[in-house]
């Protein structure tokens, strides 16, 4: 296994007094591709949000080590600056802020440097081309009135522009048609190729995984990892579902 970028040790998380994750262990090596699969309500999204420091999820036990530092209880922006990225299952609409300005502000926060508008624009347009996104989206209000597919593409656009060391993709393929899944997959491949970061792909289907070489699969059921294995687990789930783990 490559050097670990993320170690989750005995993580316990609760939301509104109800425990969702009951002591979860997980390790991801640098540049590796991990898949988290599980039925609805297993705690997959809770895992993604907790790793990203969402204050609505209370960590009641265990710890999260990211890039060698304990980030348990750390503020979300600090975690983001250390190189973690979460692609949202339901990207939020934010009126009055353009997609382009948002990405530029984020980049400036991350690098602590002023970014020249001209260079940024060129880079952004090039990246939008990879994702077959119309460049007019750059000047539109962030996610406002975007279709489901465009919202997910906008997430992948942010991923490619911000180039994090670890990307957590929460159900990025859900609700997308075949073409959109193909485009998003292409964006993820591009991330692997140009950034070389690690991926944690949370999904309950496998369409998005077809073009990726997966290092490790974790099956999450009722707040616990019940099974881990290689790529062969995906085929097994495809054929038999989660039934035997319930």
- Nearest approach, Cβ of residue 105 and another protein (Å): 6
Which residue ranges make up the site for another protein (CB under 8 A)? 49, 52, 54-56, 75-77, 80-81, 85-86, 88, 91-92, 94-97, 102-103, 105-106, 109-110, 141, 158, 162
Round to whole Å and give the CA distance between 214 and 201.
Answer: 10
Q: How far is 65 from 104, CA to CA, in rounded Å?
A: 28
Judged by CB, which is closer to another protein: 162, or 198?
Answer: 162
CB of 12 or CB of 76, closer to another protein = 76
**Which residue from 107, 92, 97 is spatially nearest to 163, judged by alpha carbons?**
107
Q: How far is CA 168 from CA 1, 118, 139, 150, 244, in A?
A: 19, 30, 26, 18, 26
Q: Of 55 and 239, which CB lies nearer to another protein in the complex structure?
A: 55
Given a contact cutoff of 8 angstroms between Cβ atoms, the answer to whether 37 and 171 are in contact is no
CB of 142 to another protein, least distance (A): 8
- Please tell me the distance from the alpha carbon of residue 54 to that of residue 45, in angstroms, as a whole number: 11
What minimum distance in Å lies between the beta carbon of 86 and another protein?
5
Between 81 and 224, name the residue whose CB sits nearer to another protein: 81
The distance of closest approach from Cβ of residue 13 to another protein in the complex, given in angstroms and rounded to an integer, is 15
CB closer to another protein, 103 vs 198: 103
CB 158 → another protein: shortest distance, Å? Answer: 7
99: which residues sit within 8 A by CB, 6+ positions away?
137, 138, 139, 140, 141, 142, 143, 154, 157
């Amino acid at each position: 296994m490559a050097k670990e970028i993320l170690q989750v040790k005995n993580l316990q998380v609760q939301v509104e007094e109800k425990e969702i994750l009951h002591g979860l262990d997980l390790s991801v090596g640098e540049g590796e591709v991990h898949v988290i699969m599980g039925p609805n309500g297993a705690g997959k999204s809770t895992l993604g949000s907790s790793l990203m420091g969402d204050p609505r999820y209370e960590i009641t036990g265990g710890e999260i080590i990211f890039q060698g530092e304990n980030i348990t209880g750390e503020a979300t922006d600090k975690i983001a600056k250390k190189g973690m990225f979460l692609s949202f299952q339901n990207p939020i609409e934010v009126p009055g802020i353009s997609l382009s300005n948002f990405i530029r502000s984020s980049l400036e926060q991350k690098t602590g440097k002023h970014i020249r508008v001209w260079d940024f624009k060129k880079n952004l347009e090039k990246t939008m081309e990879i994702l077959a996104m119309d460049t007019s989206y750059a000047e539109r209000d962030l996610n406002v009135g975007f279709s489901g597919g465009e919202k997910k593409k906008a997430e992948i656009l942010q991923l490619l522009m911000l180039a994090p060391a670890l990307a957590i993709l929460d159900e990025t393929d859900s609700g997308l048609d075949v073409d959109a899944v193909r485009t998003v997959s292409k964006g993820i491949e591009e991330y692997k190729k140009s950034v070389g970061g690690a991926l944690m792909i949370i999904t309950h289907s496998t369409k998005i995984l077809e073009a990726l070489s997966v290092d490790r699969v974790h099956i999450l059921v009722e707040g616990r990892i019940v099974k881990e294995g290689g790529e062969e687990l995906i085929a097994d789930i495809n054929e038999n579902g989660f039934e035997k783990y319930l």
